[in-house]
Amino acid sequence: MYISIPLLLFLGAISGIFVVIMRKNQYLKKLTPDVHDLGTRGVLAEFFPEVIDKIEISKIREYQANALIELEKLVRKIRLVFLRIDQLTVSLISRIRTTHSNNSNSKVINDDEFVTTIIEEDTRTNSFEDLKKEEQNLIIEIAKDPKNFSLYESLGDLYVKMNNDVDAKESYETALNLDPDNIVLKTKISKSVLSHLAK
């Protein structure tokens, strides 16, 4: 009995398909090969015309452009979050260094040479930390206004101060892409390339 029910369902389905084909057979005989020409739409368009028409009606290009704009905004927000995390870690590192340097200063007060070297190291780290903070601030400003070539130029100048010629050249080139007629940027790029080659 359990075998007969699926068998009856299968036979009913086959007979239904046969009846549909026999009804359409007279129309199929009238068709010529010219009627079967699918043209440029293809086989899918012939089988699913409603779906293909809806896809063609919807403006995929516009949606794609809007989606890319929204994706860029999302990536910029994520970048800002990571930059803030980076600023927090830099401030935490500077606090750790200052406490460490205070402890080391109290240990070596007796010897003048060690004291002068510690003071020199502190001034170097402070100036480097100031440059890093300025770099972070410029990157945040660039994330807010990515079309401003002067921000990229300032970032390139900052990298020159930090002796980072590769990043300076990249920043100058980005600024030059935004302002192609700027002669000052061209000279700065050539100077950064020459200083990089000299090293």
Q: Report how far residue 97's alpha carbon sits from residue 128's, in angstroms, rounded to the nearest whole number.
A: 13
Give the span between the Cα atoms of 43 and 104, in whole angstroms. 79
The answer, yes or no, to whether residue 47 has pLDDT greater than 60, is yes
173, 155 contact by CB (below 8 A) = no
* pLDDT tens-place string over residues 139-152: 888 888 888 888 88
Label residue 178 by pLDDT band (50, 70, 90). Answer: confident
Distances (CA, A) of 171 to 165, 184, 185: 10, 13, 10
Taking the alpha carbons of 61, 65, 68, 70 in that order, is the dihedral positive or negative? negative
CB 148 within 8 Å of CB 156:
no
- Using DSSP's 3-state secondary structure scheme, residue 148 falls into coil
Architecture of domain 147-199: Alpha Horseshoe (1.25)
Q: Report pLDDT for 37.
A: 52
Q: Evaluate whether 159 touches 165 at the Cβ level (below 8 Å).
A: yes
Query: What is the tally of helices (H) and strands (E) in the chain?
Result: 8, 0
Which long-range contacts (C-beta less than 8 Å, at least 24 apart) are formed by 76-81? 76/143, 76/146, 79/143, 80/140, 80/143
pLDDT at residue 14, as a whole number:
94
Q: What pLDDT score was predicted for residue 11?
A: 92
pLDDT at 12 over 90: yes
Query: Which pLDDT band, with edges at 50, 70 and 90, does 155 fall under?
Result: confident
DSSP at 75: H
Report residue 2 CA to chain centroid gap.
Answer: 60
Residue 71: Cβ within 10 Å count: 10
Residue 27: band (very low, low, confident or very high) from pLDDT cuts 50, 70, 90: confident
pLDDT digits (tens, 9 = 90+) for 48-96: 677 766 666 555 666 777 778 888 889 888 988 888 888 888 888 888 8
Phi, psi (deg, nearest 5) at residue 45:
-65, -30
pLDDT at residue 13 is higher than 90: yes
Cα dihedral angle (93, 96, 98, 102), rounded to 10 degrees?
A: -160
> Which pLDDT band holds residue 106 (cuts at 50, 70, 90)?
very low
DSSP conformational letter for 110: S
